[in-house]
Amino acid sequence: MSKKDKKYREHWYSGITEAVQMYVPGNKQYHTIAARRARIGTLFILPFIIGFLAFMARPLIISMQMSLSQYTILTGEMKWNNYHNFKYAFTGDPDFNRMIVDEVGRMLINVIATLVLSFVIAVILNQKFKGRILCRIIFFLPVILSSGVLPGIETSSSSYNLIVSMGQSMEEASGVNISAALEDLLSVSGVAGEVFDVIFQMIDAIYDIVMASGIQIIVFLSGLQAISHSLYEAADVEGCSAWEAFWKITFPMVSPLLIVNCTYTIIDFFMKNDNQVIEHINEVMYGVQMDIGVASAESWIYFGIALVFIGVFTLIISRLVKFYE
């Protein structure tokens, strides 16, 4: 069955002629088993097709249209105004550019840190030790606790910054803040500043990073569990140390999952509630301005940037990583 079916899967568009032959009665192919199975399969995914066309493709087109036009909510009227909304987003909106740059910077640091951290944690959790199950329970807790409203709610409170800055000044006065003290020490001793700035940013954001890496740990863990044990045994027999085995076996076997995780992390980061760009777009849409045109132009820009980053990361990783079939 499969050989015959594979014939028309060379390109996605080569399916169109087959679709006509298989779905339209009266054709020669209509009564073959393959066509029957194809029809059944299409019935199975029919909900998705309908949903995608009605609630994804069409809104996407509408929102593209909106982003290119002046939209008045009360009358529902759309007036074409070229690229004005996009121009406004970049040149007219006081906060948008700055926010985008901020978020992208934060995203880059977060993605790298999340990937490294979740990989390390997955490797550790994959080992056998006492209390492993308890550790797993705790590490996957963030999957639940950092979803939806929960992560941003405390930081979005207007008074949060006040309290945090109060706490920081208290810490600085009493000298409790270790990372700040270390930073001072390093900058005084003249070690390269820029690199350490990034590292200290990571350290300060480690809570957010751990909270955002639940799913990634699960993905890496599943990859680690799929590595057959005989590989390690063979390496051990040949006199390979654990360190070498890690870099020669564990890392290459798991690295294809880096792409999945990387994509997931970027999307997750870009769609979070505590993201200031999302907040800004919401404000433009529902706030005083009520400008849906600009809001959808901005969300398109934002989505475009996310896509570009996913593409770049995927390209880099797939260059670096070997795929084992």
Partner 1 sequence: MKSKTFWEKNRRSEGYLLRRRSKEIAISLIRGLLLFGLCFMIISPMISRISMSLMEEKDLYDSTIVLLPRHVTLDNFRVVAKTTFLPTSMLNSLWISLLVSFCQIIATTLVAYGFARYEFPLKKFWFACVIALIVIPPQTIQSALYRTFTRFDIFGIIKLIKGAPLNLRSSIWPYVMMSLTCMGLKNGLYIYMMRQYFKGVPESLEEAAYVDGCSTLRTFFKIMLPDAMPVISSCFLFGFVWQWTDLFYTRNFLTGYKVYSQQLSTVVDRLANELASTMGASQTIDPGRQLQLISVGVLICCVPLIILYCFTQRTLVESLAMTGSKE
Give dist(CA 228, CA 61) in Å, integer: 47
- The two tokens of residue 7 are 């014939």
Closest separation in Å from C-beta 101 to partner 1: 19
Which among 38, 36, 44, 50 is positioned nearest to 9, based on CA atoms?
38
Binding residues for partner 1 restricted to 176-235, rule: CB under 8 A = 206-207, 210-211, 218-219, 221-223, 225-226
The stretch near partner 1 (CB under 8 A) out of 34-42, 83-91, 105-113, 312-320 is: 34-42
Closest separation in Å from C-beta 87 to partner 1: 19
Q: How far is CA 324 from the centre of its chain?
A: 24
- Which of 39, 87, 98, 248 binds partner 1 (CB under 8 A)? It is 39
Binding residues for partner 1 restricted to 113-132, rule: CB under 8 A = 121, 124, 127, 129
Total number of residues binding partner 1 (CB under 8 A)?
100
Give 174 or 189: the residue with its C-beta nearer to partner 1.
174
Binding residues for partner 1 restricted to 226-245, rule: CB under 8 A = 226
Give 134 or 195: the residue with its C-beta nearer to partner 1.
134
The stretch near partner 1 (CB under 8 A) out of 98-106, 150-158, 196-204, 228-236 is: 150-158
One-letter amino acid for residue 300 of the chain: W
Residue given tokens 């004005």 in the structure block: 84
- The two tokens of residue 224 are 């680690």
Binding residues for partner 1 restricted to 247-306, rule: CB under 8 A = 256-257, 263, 267, 270-271, 273, 278, 281, 285, 292, 295-296, 299-300, 302-303, 306
Residues 39, 22: contact at Cβ < 8 Å? yes
Give dist(CA 315, CA 307) in Å, integer: 12
What is each CA distance from 305 to 103, 185, 238, 270, 301, in whole angstroms? 11, 37, 48, 10, 6
Give 116 or 191: the residue with its C-beta nearer to partner 1.
116
Give dist(CA 267, CA 303) in Å, integer: 9
> How does 170-181 read in b/e, with b if 16+ C-beta sit within 10 Å?
eeeeeeebeeee
Determine if residue 128 is left, alpha or beta; phi over 0 gives left, psi from -120 to 50 gives alpha, anything else beta.
beta
- Which of 72, 92, 97, 160 binds partner 1 (CB under 8 A)? It is 160
Give 14 or 97: the residue with its C-beta nearer to partner 1.
14
Give 183 or 295: the residue with its C-beta nearer to partner 1.
295
- Which of 77, 95, 102, 154 binds partner 1 (CB under 8 A)? It is 154
Angle at 56 between CA 50 and CA 58, to 5 degrees: 85
Binding residues for partner 1 restricted to 44-103, rule: CB under 8 A = 44-45, 47-52, 54-56, 58-63, 66, 76
